[in-house]
A and B are shown apart, each in its own frame.
Chain A
Amino acid sequence: MKEGFNEAMKNGLKKWRFLPLVAAMAFILSGCGEPFLSTLQPAGEVAQKQFNLMMLSVAIMVLVIIVVSIVYVIAITKFRRSKLGEDFIPKQVEGSHRLEVIWTVIPIILLLILAVPTVALTFELGDQSGAEAEDEEGNREALVVDVRANLYWWEFSYPDQGIVTAQELVVPTDQNVYFNVIASDVKHSFWIPAVGGKIDTNVDNMNKFYLSFDSERAEEANNLFYGKCAELCGPSHALMDFKVKTMGEEDFNQWVTAMQEAGEAEQQFESDTVADGYAVFEDQGCIGCHAINPTQQIGTSTGPNLTTFGEREHVAGILDNKDSEEVQAENIKNWIRNSPDLKPGNKMPVYNQDDLSDEDLDALTEFLMSLKVNNE
């Protein structure tokens, strides 16, 4: 019996040759999914380190599976009763101390190989000291974003810059961005799969973590990543998507400046329809929940801030505008009329024909589409 086992062990060791296979597998895996969503196409340092740890664990686990499979296949082919005959009485072996020690010690070693980088990376990713670093003038060096999760929408505010946006997180590439996350109603979880693991947005306390966005990989994803809510939060948990726009540091600084200026600028309307739309926006009380100024209602609004609404790629995080103004207008109207069907359980009131005439809706849509900060 032992002979057979040793033979199997030898075969198992030969399978170290399969390590290139594991590397190949990692390569194949990385073809899985879309670059804007898949954890297998890591687009930042955090995701990359997590991916590397995954691949290390996969390699160890594949090794275990191969050894088990070999012993297994030999056992169930060699020791069939149909081959051995009904009368064969196997030797009633009690066990083997040597073997028990072997298959206790080897797994422990394998687990240590995995445990050491696991612990190291746990502390590395848990290190938030970068968020505190200050330059000579006492200004914070790193970018900090406060994330507030709400029933089916996300608010992103930039405390040091004094601005706020929603549904579309805007971040600079190639630097650590520090996030403070919290939920304002029920627990959600903040996840940008391609850029790094998730962290829960608790209702009790603020959680902190950081991510970084790699410029090259971001380009492959057209500088737009998909973000998800990863904690069951109600009927529209599945639709609580957000998007992440990435840009170089310079562009980002320009965006921040544009936002800050928009906060101070007087409301100006490009056409009469837009002005009419603004009147509808005020009359219908939209403005009660949706600020259109990037410096107002930070951390307190009950609906997404709409300052950059006209520039967003999606309406409500789910209706794709496909870079077309017609589609965008359709999406906006569809959302205002049918929001309970599009996102069941969301907090926005319904506006049917009686509440809001088609003409008013057209004007409102025009106005909403004009909400931009980057319109040079």
Chain B
Amino acid sequence: MSTVAEKRGFLAVLWDYLTTVDHKKIAILYLVSGGFFFLVGGIEAMLIRIQLAVPDNDFVSAGLYNELLTMHGTTMIFLAAMPLLFAFMNAVVPLQIGARDVAFPFLNSLGFWLFFFGGIFLNLSWFLGGAPDAGWTSYASLSIASDGHGIDFYVLGLQISGAGTLIAGINFLVTIINMRAPGMTYMRMPLFTWSTFVASALILFAFPPLTVGLFLMLFERMFGANFFNVAMGGNTIIWEHLFWIFGHPEVYILILPAFGIFSDIISTFSKKRLFGYAAMVFATVLIGFLGFMVWAHHMFTTGLGPTANAIFAVATMAIAVPTGVKIFNWLLTMWGGSIRFTTPMLYAVAFIPSFVAGGVTGVMLASAPADYQYHDSYFVVAHFHYVIIGGVVLGLLAGTHFYWPKMFGTMLNETLGKITFWLFLIGFHGTFFIQHFLGLMGMPRRIWKYLPNQGLDLFNMISTIGAFFMAVAVIVLIANVIITQVKNVRVGNDPWGDGRTLEWAISSPPPYYNFKQLPLVRGLDPLWIEKMEGRTEMTPAEPLGDIHMPNNSFIPFVMSLGLFIAAFGAMYQVDWRASDGAEYVWSIPVLIIGMLITIGSMAVRSMKDDHGYHIHKEDLMDDHDKGGRE
């Protein structure tokens, strides 16, 4: 590994990324693959909206439509939103707490590759006999009745990528607990770090129920285990519980980091300390905690009875309180500040009313008897898109513009950024606001077509037009990224000029060891404190010394690849057994080979000592924070 930036061939760069354990490069891997899946999910969404533009449309077939809606939801949640958030967590959190990397760089890489191969596996279903078609919730009675391998792709793909997510969550927990720079107490951590911390804790507790549910489904589909087969004494409602015990906290896993990004952006561009920091932290933790108490509000119409419905209704309403606290603290952060409307700040400012709209419909949905009407109608579709797009996606777009200089050392074009922003915002409200009314007018969700003369035509057309605005906005964003990277104008430590937290105290992008000397943190917004005292840099907390670095490793890639291969064997052995061993004879060998690759690479990792290496003091003294990723 060279400390000197040099021109290298494509293969060398590729190899570097395949083997990297550097959190900043893994962030880029997450950003690129999450971005790719975001485009895939977006195309699926556009096909859905085109199909629903006019009544009785036959643009896509009924079966294909169900595959599209399933893959749109699954892709956006698991393969786009989460990895994109992980991109920013990886890029920023170690810097924000003044760490040289995450606690387990090897696991960080493993987490990414598991997610990546799980996502690829899931999407290969399009080319291998059909995608899953039972909705992203994959309710048991429908998913066990589904023909073909679609649901198997869902189960195996999510199992693999879910393991990656769990690993990433644990890694961030350990990192934030153990790797903070001197003086970086918990109550001095930036809100993005705090929300990453809470979201990681949610991952730790929410993903195991999903894993359990997926294993039950796996055994049901592959070995006829009958967990969900009512005729054999199984029960399908248990799947709904397992799914939503995961599924509801999942919403907060997505939204809390977005809250964190917005908190940092609002504070930065208001040139003002976050109002009510302690209340914000407490609200974040409380939302995370309450997030586990409300899953059954997704099941009000399942027939749990009035007692359960009433309890979960009131518990759900309670979440509005800490969320409201957050909204008002953001408003009061801007109040009395000096607001500069950069592209990230525009997203943050637009986020507040958009998310309030999604939040209040959340409270409306919490009211169980009224939910009997909203449930599984387009009202719910409108609600969760307001929360997920108005919250999470705006947060991701804001984060993309805000952290781009820190990740790549270049600044996205502000004019194009603002064009994207306005197109996206108009398109988003145009698409989804009207869907509230469609739901109330009696349009159920997940319908392939609607017949004419039901009063649903006009609003659906408006909704589809809105979707095209969002699509154009995303295209402008991609153009912006390409233009920016081709021009390649380099920027300094604090390109926004208003940076308050530690990541803006080092070069963009930071050198691979991040901080030459760990910084001394003297309070909340450490860089701001130094700036106010006339300094431009952080005070070091330690003398210059050798830095211990981990070695790159190809093992995480191979380990994940093994599971990817084994998944094919596991899936097709069903056909092998069904054909009495006549066809798919390769399935069991492939399963075994895949598992051997994974277990073998685990063994290599365990047996072979890898102590990493040291960057010596002398080399660091020569290296004047040149930055660059090479």
Residues of chain A touching chain B, judged by Cβ–Cβ distance below 8 Å, are 1, 4-5, 29, 32-34, 37-40, 47, 49-51, 53-54, 57-58, 60-61, 64-65, 68-69, 71-72, 74-76, 79-81, 84, 88-96, 99-100, 103-104, 107-108, 111, 114-115, 118-119, 121-127, 183, 185-187, 189, 191, 193-194, 196-200, 202-205, 207-208, 226, 228-239, 241, 318, 320, 344-345
User: Known: A72-B352, A237-B446. Contact between A38 and B360, CB under 8 A?
Assistant: no
In the assembly, what is the distance between CA of A26 and CA of B488, in Å?
55
| Residue in contact with B318 in the complex, picked from A111, A203, A204, A318, CB distance below 8 Å | A111
Q: Verify if B4 is at the interface (C-beta below 8 Å from A).
A: no
User: Known: A200-B302, A203-B236. Contact between A69 and B353, CB under 8 A?
Assistant: yes
In the assembly, what is the distance between CA of A229 and CA of B445, in Å?
10
User: Chain B binding site: helix, strand, loop or mixed by DSSP?
Assistant: helix
Q: Verify if B442 is at the interface (C-beta below 8 Å from A).
A: yes
Which residues from chain B contact A229 at a C-beta distance below 8 Å?
A: 444
Given A119-B314, A231-B376, A239-B451: 12 more A-B contacts, CB < 8 Å: A4-B335, A34-B442, A65-B357, A76-B334, A99-B332, A118-B310, A118-B367, A187-B142, A191-B444, A193-B377, A204-B237, A232-B134
Cβ A125 vs Cβ B372 within 8 A: yes
| Residue in contact with B334 in the complex, picked from A50, A79, A92, A96, CB distance below 8 Å | A79
Cβ A197 vs Cβ B301 within 8 A: yes
In the assembly, what is the distance between CA of A293 and CA of B470, in Å?
55
User: Known: A81-B339, A115-B317. Contact between A38 and B236, CB under 8 A?
Assistant: no
CB of A356, distance to nearest CB on chain B (Å)? 25
Number of A-B contacts (CB under 8 A): 304
Nearest 7 interchain pairs by C-beta:
A197-B372, A126-B306, A33-B441, A238-B447, A95-B276, A235-B62, A193-B442
Residue of B nearest to A86 (CB): B338
| Residue in contact with B302 in the complex, picked from A202, A226, A318, CB distance below 8 Å | A202
- Number of B residues whose C-beta is below 8 Å from A? 90
Which residues from chain A contact B224 at a C-beta distance below 8 Å?
A: none
Cβ A118 vs Cβ B66 within 8 A: no
Contact mask for chain B residues 335-357; partner A; CB cutoff 8 A; 1 contact, 0 none? 11111110000000100110011
User: Known: A189-B301, A197-B301, A204-B235. Contact between A54 and B370, CB under 8 A?
Assistant: yes
In the assembly, what is the distance between CA of A66 and CA of B314, in Å?
24
Cβ B139 vs Cβ A187 within 8 A: yes
Residue of B nearest to A232 (CB): B446
Residue of A nearest to B317 (CB): A111
Cβ B356 vs Cβ A202 within 8 A: no
Residue of A nearest to B237 (CB): A204
Contact mask for chain B residues 441-455; partner A; CB cutoff 8 A; 1 contact, 0 none? 110111111110111
Which residues from chain A contact B317 at a C-beta distance below 8 Å?
A: 111, 114-115, 118
Cβ B352 vs Cβ A68 within 8 A: yes
CB of B555, distance to nearest CB on chain A (Å)? 41
Residue of B nearest to A190 (CB): B301
Interface window among B41-49, B80-88, B211-219, B319-327? B319-327
CB of A6, distance to nearest CB on chain B (Å)? 12
In the assembly, what is the distance between CA of A127 and CA of B334, in Å?
49
Residues of chain B touching chain A, judged by Cβ–Cβ distance below 8 Å, are 61-63, 65-66, 133-135, 139, 141-142, 145, 230, 235-237, 270-273, 275-279, 301-303, 305-306, 309-310, 313-314, 317-318, 320-321, 324-325, 327-329, 331-332, 334-341, 349, 352-353, 356-357, 360-361, 363-364, 366-373, 375-377, 437, 440-442, 444-451, 453-456, 532
| Residue in contact with A92 in the complex, picked from B272, B324, B360, CB distance below 8 Å | B272
Cβ A345 vs Cβ B62 within 8 A: yes
User: Known: A203-B230, A204-B236. Contact between A100 and B371, CB under 8 A?
Assistant: no
In the assembly, what is the distance between CA of A328 and CA of B236, in Å?
40
Cβ A64 vs Cβ B356 within 8 A: yes
Which residues from chain B contact A29 at a C-beta distance below 8 Å?
A: 437, 440
Which residues from chain B contact A345 at a C-beta distance below 8 Å?
A: 62-63
List, sorted by A's number, 23 A–B pairs whose CB atoms are closer than 8 Å: A40-B441, A57-B370, A64-B356, A65-B356, A72-B353, A79-B339, A90-B271, A90-B272, A93-B272, A95-B278, A95-B279, A99-B332, A111-B320, A111-B363, A121-B368, A123-B310, A197-B375, A226-B442, A237-B447, A238-B447, A238-B449, A238-B450, A344-B62
In the assembly, what is the distance between CA of A318 and CA of B327, in Å?
46
Cβ B273 vs Cβ A92 within 8 A: yes
In the assembly, what is the distance between CA of A236 and CA of B368, in Å?
28
User: Known: A76-B334, A79-B336. Contact between A107 and B442, CB under 8 A?
Assistant: no
In the assembly, what is the distance between CA of A211 and CA of B455, in Å?
24
Cβ B306 vs Cβ A122 within 8 A: yes
In the assembly, what is the distance between CA of A213 and CA of B560, in Å?
58
Residue of A nearest to B229 (CB): A203
| Residue in contact with B373 in the complex, picked from A5, A197, A203, CB distance below 8 Å | A197
CB of A80, distance to nearest CB on chain B (Å)? 5
| Residue in contact with B321 in the complex, picked from A95, A104, A189, A198, CB distance below 8 Å | A104
In the assembly, what is the distance between CA of A241 and CA of B271, in Å?
57
Of B278, B317, B353, B456, which is in contact with the most chain A CB atoms at under 10 Å from its CB? Answer: B317
CB of A59, distance to nearest CB on chain B (Å)? 11
User: Known: A126-B305, A204-B237. Contact between A79 and B338, CB under 8 A?
Assistant: yes
Which residues from chain A contact B331 at a C-beta distance below 8 Å?
A: 68, 71-72, 75
Residue of B nearest to A53 (CB): B370
In the assembly, what is the distance between CA of A64 and CA of B301, in Å?
28
CB of B333, distance to nearest CB on chain A (Å)? 9
CB of A69, distance to nearest CB on chain B (Å)? 7
User: Known: A33-B441, A72-B331, A318-B451. Contact between A93 and B369, CB under 8 A?
Assistant: no
In the assembly, what is the distance between CA of A1 and CA of B303, in Å?
50
Which residues from chain A contact B336 at a C-beta distance below 8 Å?
A: 1, 4, 79, 90-91, 93
Cβ B440 vs Cβ A39 within 8 A: yes
Residue of A nearest to B309 (CB): A122
Residue of B nearest to A207 (CB): B303
Which residues from chain B contact A203 at a C-beta distance below 8 Å?
A: 141, 230, 236
Cβ A68 vs Cβ B62 within 8 A: no
Cβ A32 vs Cβ B441 within 8 A: yes
CB of A241, distance to nearest CB on chain B (Å)? 8
Which residues from chain B contact A69 at a C-beta distance below 8 Å?
A: 353
Cβ B62 vs Cβ A236 within 8 A: yes
In the assembly, what is the distance between CA of A40 and CA of B377, in Å?
13
Cβ B353 vs Cβ A95 within 8 A: no
Cβ A125 vs Cβ B369 within 8 A: yes
Which residues from chain B contact A39 at a C-beta distance below 8 Å?
A: 373, 440-442
Cβ B236 vs Cβ A187 within 8 A: yes
In the assembly, what is the distance between CA of A107 and CA of B318, in Å?
9
Which residues from chain A contact B303 at a C-beta distance below 8 Å?
A: 199-200, 202, 205, 207-208
| Residue in contact with B364 in the complex, picked from A58, A104, A185, CB distance below 8 Å | A58
User: Known: A123-B306, A232-B142, A235-B448. Contact between A57 and B363, CB under 8 A?
Assistant: yes
CB of A154, distance to nearest CB on chain B (Å)? 14
CB of B305, distance to nearest CB on chain A (Å)? 6
In the assembly, what is the distance between CA of A320 and CA of B452, in Å?
11
Cβ B335 vs Cβ A237 within 8 A: no
